[in-house]
Structures are given as C-alpha cells and as structure tokens.
Amino acid sequence: MNIFSIFQDDFIYHDYQPLYTIEQSQSLYGYEALLRNTQKMNPEKLFQSAMKANILYKLDTLSISKAIEGFFHNRNQSGKLFVNVYITTILHPSFHTYFDYLMELFPALSGRLVLELNESTPDELWQNPLLATTLKNLKHYDVLYAIDDFGQGTASIKKSIEFEPDIIKLDRYFAKNLAESERKQRFLSFFNQFYGSETLIILEGIEQEEDMLVAKELGITLGQGYYLGRPSKQLLA
C-alpha cells in the first residue's frame, strides 16, 4: 500500500465505542472514536508507517478532524467525545493554529472533547515543558484530557500527580478477571480512594458482568468494554 493513499477521502473512518456509568442506573457518558480504514490495516501499524514517512502529524490531525466530523454528523450524538492524540502532535508548532480552526468549525465541541494521551509514550515527550503549557492553553476551550492505558508505562503514578489529568483510563489489564483477583481489587480500591475525589476514573476492557459488578462495588463509576458496548459506525439512539 502506498502510504500516501491514506489521505484519500474514503480511506479512513471511525467507529465509536460507548462509555457508560456503572452505577445502579447505567447511563451513556460518551464515546471513544476508534480509527479504522478500508484496507483493514491495523491502526497502530498505520500510524507507525506514517511515523516512518514523517507524516504522523498529518495523519493524526486528519484522524482527529474526521472523528469529530463523523460524531457531529450522526444525529444521535450525545455526551463527550474521546479522541486519541499523539503527544508529538500536541507539541507540533502548527497544532495551535489547527486546533483554533477546528473549534471554529465545531463550536459545539467546547466542553465535550476529551483528548486521550497514551501513558506509554516515551518519557522524554512527557517531560517536554511545552506539553503542560499547551494542555493548560486548551482549557480555554474547556477541553478535558485523559491519560489513556494507565498502568502500561513505568512512571504512571508520577505522571498522574505531575499532570493532574481530568480523567484516568485504567488499562484493560485491571478489568480482566477482576472478580477473581483480590490483588487487582485491592489496587482499584486504593486507586479510587487516592484519585477518585479529584479525577474521573474509567475502567477499560470490561468484558464480563461479574467484573463490572466488582468494579462498581469498589467505587469505580465509569466503564468501557465489550460487555457495555461494542464499537460501531452508528451511535446509539
């Protein structure tokens, strides 16, 4: 595949996976936009190819734009929209101009957009002083940001304290067999007590009802995973 074919209008699109409260009355909280392509190429490999071709910023901003466009063109859109973004994209000198233009196109996005930063991104990028400044500037648009896949990297706790994210998305590792693992249960209980009053906690990868019920008992209020809803082009009515 010619890497530049990804910029054809119909090559990439997004599915949307719902996020729900897992309290007694489950309610829709929002959706995460997940990149897809017509060639069924693994999205991670697609981004890696773009990185090698030095067009990662172009692909990432295209993905963000199309995710937002697809969301607002769906008549059932509601709640918040979670969009993944590379830290290198946020640090790019053109990002401010791009984002200003994006908000002009979609003013209804204010207060509803959550940018997901992958926790396993190399530490030197997290340590770039421009990152904290840029994230602070995005608050002008009421943009929230989340640390995604929390628990994959080697300095998770440090990043969560230094960056004070609005949302932490716990890696799916913690949801798998949660009902059977006392160690995971103790960790989630501690984690929720430590962060829960200031930061919204989302448990990813919930695939079994029993794991969701245990998470609920531990005080986790939001979840995402196949048990709660699978990714789809169409948003829920």
pLDDT at 7 over 90: no
pLDDT level of residue 23 (50, 70, 90 thresholds): confident
Instruction: Answer whether 66's CB lies under 8 Å from 14's CB.
Output: yes
pLDDT level of residue 154 (50, 70, 90 thresholds): low
pLDDT of residue 160: 84
Burial class (CB in 10 A: 0-12, 13-18, 19+), 117: buried
What value does the mean pLDDT take over residues 192-196? 86
Domain ranges for the chain: 3-223
pLDDT of residue 75: 72
pLDDT level of residue 8 (50, 70, 90 thresholds): confident
The CATH H-level (homologous superfamily) assignment of domain 3-223 is EAL domain (3.20.20.450)
pLDDT of residue 228: 95
